[in-house]
Amino acid sequence: MKQVLLIATGGTIASKSSDEGLKPLITSDELLGYVPDAKKFCQAHTLQLMNIDSTNMQPAHWQKIAFAIQEHYSSYDGFVVCHGTDTMAYTAAALSYLIQDSQKPIVITGAQKPIDLEITDAKTNLMDSLLFACCDRAYGVTIVFDGKVIAGTRGKKERTKSYNAFSSINFPYIATIQDQHILFYLDDKKHMNQPVRFYSALNERVALLKLIPSMEAGVLEYLAQHYDAVIIESFGVGGLPSYKSGDFHKAIRHWIGSGKTVVMTTQVTNEGSNMSVYEVGRTIKQEFGLLEAYDMTLEATVTKLMWILGQTGDPQKIQEMFYRTINRDILYTASW
Ligand code: ASP
């Protein structure tokens, strides 16, 4: 019988209604009690790491989850992390960098409705996740939600209320699960030949700046005082405004000149960035050698930078690590 560790962290799946609104109160053992049929294919043990709304998840919590998996890695065949949906995509991406090349499946799941309701997606999501965590063909960090298996670096919450809350961005679904039957679209475990690696260091000093028409470049000067890296979410395939006598240009020169990291990405969810297309992007990218996220999700870009900057401050090494594909996070790079 497969051995699975169910790690509970909170979220709607574990929430009960209260006068203050939904809050996580259901324990890991109680969660497991709602899916008695899982006993037919696995022996699950539980670990309650925290019981919080995922709005409160921070890098220290990602490290705690990764450490718990590392501590118990040899004792289990697979892991299921129950988590709030709001920041699940960040946690799944962070775990993809903190735990690399895992032959064992590490599944993140949650629900749009609490598990104690009569009508809920929670039981199906939890059953599907346990099933996937027991599957010999499954590996690495994934999100299992609403019958879809999504690479841990490719998930994005795109719907606030519907059961199909998560999409796989710029990448196919790894598998679908229906009526407890797993249908693989990407069945490539045989290519895995590295031993699992665990990391713990993260540098939280990563900021995000979403451009709006009229934004002042002074925001970047302010951010430079507090952060080591900034991700600029620009418009379309990517560029920076050249209005106001090139203030953005000067701000980027200041960032790069002080050895800090600037990554360009796009506000458009699908198809990614390509700074080389327009003058507003190409000139600034060439001059400063800015990094760009291409087809990576924002969640993966943020957590990958935190992970990289936890290992190194050397711009050359940062660039090399940023463009190295980890858990399917980036396909499209400058070499095209
Ligand atoms: N606010 C909840 C959370 O992220 C939402 C959910 O789990 O669906 O913890």
Ligand 1 centroid – CA 188 distance (Å) = 32
pLDDT tens for 117-153 read 999 999 999 999 999 999 999 999 999 999 999 999 9
Catalytic residue among 9, 12, 109, 266: 12
Which runs of consecutive H residues, i.e. helices, occur in 6-110?
28-33, 59-72, 88-98
Mutational test site, ligand 1, from 15, 16, 20, max ligand atoms within 8 Å of CB: 15
- pLDDT tops 70 at residue 224: yes
pLDDT given for residue 315 in this prediction: 95
pLDDT tens for 267-292 read 999 999 999 999 999 999 999 989 99
Ligand 1 centroid – CA 17 distance (Å) = 13
pLDDT tens for 43-72 read 999 999 999 999 999 999 999 999 999 999
For residue 334, name the pLDDT band (cuts at 50, 70, 90): low
pLDDT tens for 1-46 read 999 999 999 999 999 999 999 999 999 999 999 999 999 999 999 9
Nearest residue (CA) to ligand 1, atom 3? 84
Tokens for 110? 């949650």
For residue 332, name the pLDDT band (cuts at 50, 70, 90): confident
State yes or no: is 27 an active-site residue. Answer: no
Contact 1, 43 (CB under 8 A): yes
pLDDT above 70 covers what percent of the chain? 99
Ligand 1 centroid – CA 14 distance (Å) = 9
Residues whose beta carbon lies within 6 Å of some atom of ligand 1: 10-12, 53-55, 84-86, 110, 112
CA of 53, closest atom in ligand 1: 9
Element (H, E) at 199: none
Q: Which of 45, 12, 43 is nearest to 114 (CA)?
A: 12
Torsion from C-alpha of 98, 101, 103, 105, nearest 10 degrees:
40
Please give the Cα distance from 207 to 226 (Å, whole number).
Answer: 9
For residue 333, name the pLDDT band (cuts at 50, 70, 90): low
